[in-house]
């Protein structure tokens, strides 16, 4: 299969000895929307800059549509980059800004104008095409940067925190536009962000990075439901994690003996009896039950006590303390429970279906 982008054992160590990226492998098909997600300093921007050609690589290969591009300068790569600052020219009109890349390439004026006008129409920039970018709003500038990146018809559009400068509402609406535009054009997008919600709502696949290494490459839903590593489980969603030793493996289900009892989940990857493991339980998987005296607690259960509770609309937000003295935040839909279920100090039992918890090797 021919990929649009392949990173093969890609690595970068800066001159001062900082290893920013190591052993990065990724294959991207045409039209995919890929996000690099991770905390500050994990190597997202360095990787994007290596793909664009702004940063040299220390090891490995970068291929675009099968061609090794390691030694090609940025202008000879079939990529465009959109920076968080947009990097627009303040003294040029919007129209000229958009056409600049084509001008540099030496494209004839008539052809250039036709492409620029089409991009202006595509992104709804007609009314501001003759203005200068410094007189425009953040959202408008963002759209111009997008038009300028796309007009050169790159194989891959690289976006470095492109929505970072926008306020929350605008960010949301531009996210939708960006996704629609990407689908329509079928261009491969590689998008750097440290905003989880943005990556989860926009991407086909997410690369979660941590300290220069890839932790997991998955569809957004899988990052929630089947984290591969403890880092991903802590970074994505709201998970409670218990450490223990694998007690029993029964088909898909793995029982882990933890200080608060035996907890069951589904293994993600190979696990062996007697080895250390972590059980990851998503907050959404937890069912709250009121303990009934004399009744044995259900399998896969943790005793908890409510320490704080307040209602927000139809949801009750709870803080519960576990037997290991950890406090966990949970939510309950009020319609599903009798009125007095969630008074402060009440005992609860937390349960979950084994399929909804993940066991990972520690
Ligand atoms: N020019 C440089 N020289 C030396 N070290 C650098 C250089 N640029 C980045 N680094 C280091 O490389 C690591 C990765 O940086 P990078 O900018 O790629 O991270 P990032 O995930 O994009 O972070 P952020 O979200 O803050 O932009 C960091 O430790 C950073 O300090």
Residue pLDDT, tens place only, 186-237: 999 999 998 898 999 999 999 999 999 999 999 999 999 999 999 999 999 9
Which numbered atom of ligand 1 lies nearest the CA of 38?
21
Give which of 251, 350, 342 is closest to 298, Cα–Cα. Answer: 350
Residue pLDDT, tens place only, 306-325: 999 999 999 999 999 999 99
Residue pLDDT, tens place only, 3-33: 999 999 999 999 999 999 999 999 999 999 9
- Would you say how long the chain is, in residues? 362
pLDDT of residue 1: 67
Pairing of strands 67-68, 59-64: antiparallel
pLDDT of residue 101: 87
Q: Which sequence spans correspond to the domains of the chain?
A: 5-225, 239-361
What is the mean predicted confidence (pLDDT) over 145-149? Answer: 91
**Identical topology for domains 5-225 and 239-361:** no
Q: What is the dihedral of CA 95, 96, 101, 105, to 10 degrees?
A: 120
Residue 223: its H or E element: helix 220-225
CA distance 348 to 307: 11
CA of 351 to the centre of ligand 1 (A): 42
CA of 190 to the centre of ligand 1 (A): 18
Residue 139, SS3? helix
Q: What is 239-361's CATH number, 3.40.1180.10, 1.25.40.20, 3.30.565.10, 2.40.50.100?
A: 2.40.50.100
Give which of 170, 153, 162 is closest to 82, Cα–Cα. Answer: 162
Architecture label for domain 5-225? 3-Layer(aba) Sandwich (3.40)
Residue 202, SS3? helix
Mutate to test the pocket of ligand 1, among 11, 35, 39, 41 (most ligand atoms within 8 A of CB): 41
Q: How confident is the model at residue 40 (pLDDT cuts 50, 70, 90)?
A: very high
Q: Which residues, at least 6 apart from 82, have a Cβ–Cβ distance to it below 8 Å?
A: 145, 146, 148, 149, 157, 158, 159, 160, 162
Provide the percentage of residues in the chain whose pLDDT is more than 90.
Answer: 70
């Amino acid at each position: 299969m021919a990929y649009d982008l392949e990173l093969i054992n890609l690595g970068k160590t800066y001159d001062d000895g900082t290893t920013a990226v190591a052993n990065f492998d990724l294959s991207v098909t045409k039209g995919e929307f890929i996000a690099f997600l991770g905390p500050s300093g994990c190597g997202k921007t360095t990787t994007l800059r290596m793909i664009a050609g702004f940063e040299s690589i220390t090891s490995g290969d970068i291929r675009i549509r099968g061609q090794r591009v390691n030694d090609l300068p940025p202008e000879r790569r079939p990529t465009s980059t959109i920076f968080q600052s947009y990097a627009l020219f303040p003294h040029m009109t919007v129209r000229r800004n958009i056409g600049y890349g084509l001008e540099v390439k030496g494209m004839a004026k008539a052809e250039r104008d036709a492409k620029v006008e089409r991009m202006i129409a595509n992104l709804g920039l007609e009314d501001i095409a003759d203005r200068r970018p410094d007189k425009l709003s953040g959202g408008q500038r963002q759209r111009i940067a997008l038009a300028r990146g796309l007009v050169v018809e790159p194989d891959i559009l690289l976006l470095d925190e492109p929505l970072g400068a926008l306020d929350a509402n605008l960010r949301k609406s531009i996210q939708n536009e960006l996704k629609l535009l990407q689908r329509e054009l079928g261009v491969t997008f590689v998008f750097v962000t440290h905003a989880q919600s943005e990556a989860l709502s926009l991407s086909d696949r997410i690369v979660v990075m941590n300290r220069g290494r890839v932790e997991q490459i998955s569809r957004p839903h899988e990052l929630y439901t089947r984290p591969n590593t403890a880092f991903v489980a802590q970074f994505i969603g709201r998970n409670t994690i218990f450490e223990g030793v694998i007690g029993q493996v029964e088909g898909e289900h793995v029982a882990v003996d933890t200080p608060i009892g035996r907890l069951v989940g589904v293994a993600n990857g190979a696990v062996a009896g007697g080895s250390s493991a972590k059980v990851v339980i998503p907050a959404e998987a937890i069912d709250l039950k009121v303990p009934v005296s004399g009744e044995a607690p259900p399998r896969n259960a943790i005793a908890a006590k409510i320490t704080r509770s307040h209602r927000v609309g139809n949801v009750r937000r709870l803080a519960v303390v576990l037997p290991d003295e950890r406090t966990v935040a949970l939510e309950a839909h009020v319609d599903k429970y009798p009125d007095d279920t969630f008074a402060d100090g009440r005992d609860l039992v937390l349960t979950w279906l084994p399929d909804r918890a993940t066991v990972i090797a520690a």
